[in-house]
Amino acid sequence: MVQSWVVTLPLMLWMFLSMVLGIHLTSHLVMEFAMVAGAGYVLFGPGLETLRSALISSRNLTPNMDVLIALGTTASLITGFVSLAHMFGWVHSPFYSFAGIAAMIMSFHLTGRYIEAKARGRASDAITKLLTLEAKTARIIKNGLEEEIEVSELKKGDVMIVRPGETIPTDGVVVDGKSSVDESMVTGESMPVVREKGDEVIGGTINSEGSIRVQAKEVGENTFLNKVIRMVEEAQGSKIPIQDFADRVTAIFVPVVLALTAFTFAVWMIFPEGLRPILVWADSFLPWIITDLEPVSQAFFVALAVLVIACPCALGLATPTALMVGTGLGAENGILIRKGEAIQRLEEVTTFVFDKTGTLTKGEPEVTDWVSFTDADELLKKRIAAIENLSEHPLSRAITSYTGIDDLPDVENFESFTGMGVKGEVDGERILAGNKDLLEKFSVALTSEVERESSKLLASGKTTIFLVIGEKVEALCGIKDTLKKETPEVIASLHKKGYKTVMLTGDQEKVAEIISKEIGINEFYAQVKPGEKSDVIRQLQEKGEVVAMVGDGINDAPALTQSDVGIALGTGTDIAIESGSMILIDGNPQAILRAINLSRETFKKIRQNLFWAFFYNLVMLPVAMVGWMHPVLAEIAMALSSINVVGNSRRLQTKNIDESGTK
């Protein structure tokens, strides 16, 4: 841009002195040489990339907007050569030279591109902010002594000392101390959270108070912050369905503009006198109108304005700039857009499907009831704890925690049955722990007493686990997973917005019914195994529903993939980064409402951008075709249209997407 204006500004001043003030610094021949030489430098120097892009796209039969600029500027430059040839007597027909205008069009074009690039760079401030969160150094304990090293030198297992006010250098686990950590950059929540021994912390977050020791868990490219940066970059560079539409329009638009340009040139060549009165009338209020050109020059002048004014740069910018700002705003609010199309698809969703455990509930079930049918209850607990200890299922962890037994016997032939429970052998006896499906699988009969007690637990909304030694149910375990306090409010808000809600759970029918009534959900599917969740999603889609699946992003991966929009809820580094098309880092379901608002605001900007881009071309094309637009002014107007689109997208950064009233 700078290189082009260094040459173009003196040419503009020279033209102004000669044509407007009548001050001739040199002969007309010298001036024409200077105009052609200067314009040639601007086009084939700073403007070479534009010309090259135009050539490549034309060769591939997919002409882009650079084709219009390239044609306009090179054709204008050629008029300069024709004018020089006339001065030397090599051609007989005089032709007005537009060589100086060629330099101006290219300079304004490069200026518009520069401003767009700067604006788009600012639009991706989120990436810059995330990059600046990384700590530069870390204080580790080595051979019993503190040592400060570069973060790049950190290794897994290193123990770091993090004092109050310092940035946690990398992802890790607190091994000593207790502190409040500001995780707002990850979750969008302003309140610090307490982290103590055994808790995971994220690199880039701020240790607010208290000194802690953190053992490095992930370093380098594998840290949560680096994964987030990669995801935001990928989303900002991705295309959404409406962008494909805009691209198809642009692909058609360029050939149409070329045809209109040829048509305009032909009409002005054939009917110059009939159209001249239009110019004369406008000359009284439009100072840039030229009325004394030869028919060929006049036709070229008008056609050039059409070629430049119709350049659909704004159309090309309308979607990606809004998507860039939207994904950045999402990252600042704990919403990671993994696939750009999720922004558009979420706006079209009609039904939200929720996994229960860890999404609507805290995902930390607790044993509330233990009904024993044996005198050897302690031995029973010991054996049950032994086999449950081998399972990672939340219900198994709850039972193991409840028994509180550390000295566990050995387990043989352990098996886990998805959606049913576990089996193993302890001291030569078969142990089962699971639901009724597991009992049916192993043909375990229920006594009337067991039936009565299990019905009571189910009626109170508790998940009932049958504990079997040999062939007899020796105990029942009632487990309840507490609802997240925000869940009923979120479901109510979704209903107000017109969405249908569905809950999926592996729990028994009665438990699911009680929970669904408690939170006010429309519909539920009980005793659904993880592998069957995607089938439920598919059934809803076959009924015409556009489905968003909200799950914990780990065992819900097939359902998240099947849904139109997969929303993975997670907390911190536990998040399954590859599961959903949209990831809500905070486990708070309130983030779903923020995601909906983000989608609506972003898509609103995209629609506004596309409208103004189309509107600009529809209005300005006829103005140029009747000869009322100067080619240089046309280029300025085209650049301003693009800048307007970028500016409108950036206004998205000021939007409040949090329904609680904070950004």
Active site residues: 355
Alpha carbon 605 to chain centroid, angstroms = 14
Give which of 192, 168, 121, 126 is closest to 332, Cα–Cα. 126
Residue identified by tokens 């079209």 is 348
> Cβ distance 576 to 552 under 8 Å?
yes
> Cβ distance 633 to 301 under 8 Å?
no
Give which of 125, 55, 18, 196 is closest to 653, Cα–Cα. 125
> Cβ distance 574 to 561 under 8 Å?
no
What Å distances lie between residue 79 and 8, 100, 102, 254, CA to CA? 17, 10, 10, 23
Please give the Cα distance from 99 to 101 (Å, whole number): 5
Sign of dihedral through CA atoms 595, 597, 599, 601? negative
Sign of dihedral through CA atoms 175, 181, 184, 185? negative
Please give the Cα distance from 143 to 152 (Å, whole number): 20
Helix 65-87, helix 241-270: angle, nearest 10: 30
From the number of C-beta atoms within 10 Å of its C-beta (0-12, 13-18, 19+), residue 293 rates as middle
Please give the Cα distance from 429 to 469 (Å, whole number): 7
> Cβ distance 599 to 355 under 8 Å?
no
Helices (H), 142-208: 184-187
Task: Dump strand ranges (E) for 323-454.
Answer: 335-337, 351-355, 366-372, 412-417, 421-426, 429-434
